[in-house]
Amino acid sequence: MTATLLFCFGGPFLFSQVKAEIDTASIKIGEQIKYTISVEADSLDLVDFPEDQTFSPLEMVEALKIDTVPKDGRLLLQRMYALTQFDSGAFIIPPQRIAINEKPYLTDSFRIKVADVVVDTTKQKMFDIKPLLNVDRSRAKLWWTIFWVILGLAIIGGLVYWFFLRKKPLTEEEKIAMLPPFDRAMAQLKDLENSRYLLQDEHKKYYSELTNIVRSYLEEEVHVSALESTTDQLIDRLELLKDSGSLDLQDETIKQFKRILQTADLVKFAKSKPSNLVAEQDRTAVENIVVLTKEAIPEPTEEELMLNEEYLQEQAKKKQRKKIYIAAAVLAFLLVGGTVFSLTVYGFKKVKDSVFGYPTKELLEKEWVASTYGFPPVEIETPEVMLRTEVEFPEAIRDSIQDNNTFVHGSPLGLFSTTVSSTTYKNPQTEPQFEASLGAMLASWEAAGIRNIITKQEEFSSKSGVKGLKVFGSGQLKTPDSNSSRKIAYTVLLFGGQGFIQQIVITWEDGDTYAEQIVERVLASVDVKTTA
């Protein structure tokens, strides 16, 4: 079939031709139709083809790219669509809109016949419906939870190790600071020799650093108060050490050292400016004084060496313990802070239930199952698949019942339960007995130990608008072997028509917020058929 439309635009003799065609008008379910739209237009025309699912009730499987072919000085634009349908019957492909220079044009419609796939049941072997099988509970969510907890702890541990426990690479300054006093002083003097202080005319910085190096060395190695002492005080202390035999320095060495310190004082406080040659000679002299001082210090006894080693080990242990304490404090802060934040935002119960688990919370958060139960059917979404259960009816009503399908999850005396029941009567004209059914259920609850049952009633509408009766309330369940009791809440939905009755019963522990959310979701999913 083809559809051809002629349109005038832009002038009395300017035409654009729009054509649509299909390769077949009859297919089987799931087969595809090739639907092609052709447009003849000028090279400057702007042509917009159909996009998205505009072929309903047929479904567009694929839209190929536009093919452009020159034709008689104009352009022939073609685009092919693959369409299909998965229901049998006769369908109409609606006219498709093509815009040429923003002016709309419509193609013709097409009638399509979709045929069933014939199945020969005499040759095709039929099998019984498979029974329900008990399967092991999936532990996938638990393993994922464990995985994320371990990953989180590993990240926190890695951060604590990286910032607090690991031995970080030392900078050059830190490496020099770790050296023994003599080696450190010699390294610092070598760095001072390579500095640019003298080239930049910064004599004050040069002499400040020079005297700090030698004073620090004397304070650590000779154990005199050198950094806070004046020049005269420091020289007096060195002479006292020399006289006592604790420091074997020559008088000439002490005099030379005093001269250098006095020169440095003049540079720092009197703005004196010795020549670069004198400054270099002073640095060399200080280096020689450090060497002579090292040689003048008596060798420590074995006992002093052992005490010094013990001291160093103790200092290293203290440093390591400090790192561990800091890491533990950071970890404790994160745990306490995270706990306090969670308790503030979510509350104690939700945090406790998230950490230790709670049955109804697990039901709420798991993957739910939407299914149809019994006949007449009841459509409902629940956390777990309900299992078929045989029900014994009293003799008074047993003879009037043709069939009963009851499906249960949980126990009415437990934390949460759901029951769906569909019952058909032998007499198709029998009206559903809501009051009798509700009375029998309440009587069974009282026999099970539920007391002080409160009932309320209101109208209920299913998802598709079917009207029914909603009965709800609460009761007290006495705990066996004790005087305590707990409050049970319930909701009962009753639907029915001539010849049948449908019943949905939900029970839970009153005050359980997770169970209440489950109930809301279950009630929102309920739908029933109105005829048997």
The reply to whether domains 172-296 and 359-528 share a CATH topology is: no
The Cα–Cα gap between 174 and 493 comes to: 78
Which tens digits make up the pLDDT trace of 324-371?
Answer: 878 777 777 777 777 777 667 666 666 666 667 678 888 888 888 888
- Which CATH architecture does the domain made up of 172-296 adopt? Up-down Bundle (1.20)
Domain 2-115 sits in CATH at: 2.60.40.10
Best CA proximity match to 188, nearest among 208, 163, 204? 208
Return the pLDDT at 353.
Answer: 65
- Looking at residue 335, its pLDDT comes to 74
| pLDDT at residue 4, as a whole number | 33
Note the pLDDT tens digit of each residue in 88-119. Answer: 888 999 999 999 988 889 899 999 999 877 66
What's the rounded Cα separation, in Å, for the pair 338 and 326?
18
Fold of 359-528: Protein Transport Mog1p; Chain A (3.40.1000)
Q: Would you say the C-alpha torsion 396, 398, 401, 402 has a positive or negative sign?
A: negative
Contacts of 130 (CB under 8 A, 6+ apart): none
Structural element, H or E, at residue 18: strand 15-22
Spatial neighbors of 81 by CB under 8 A, at least 6 apart, are: 34, 35, 36, 37, 50, 55, 60, 62, 63, 64
Alpha-helical regions (H) of 75-161? 140-160
What is the reported pLDDT for 10? 35
Which residues, given as ranges, of the chain have pLDDT below 50?
A: 1-15, 532
Give residues with Cβ within 8 angstroms of 141, minimum separation 6. 366
Domain extents for the chain?
2-115, 172-296, 359-528
pLDDT for 300 equals 64
Phi-psi region of 183 (alpha: psi -120 to 50; beta: other; left: phi over 0): alpha
Q: Compute the distance between CA of residue 460 and CA of residue 468 in angstroms, rounded to an integer.
A: 5
DSSP 194: T
Residues making up the chain, counted from first to last: 532
Is 458 within 8 Å of 470 (Cβ atoms)?
yes
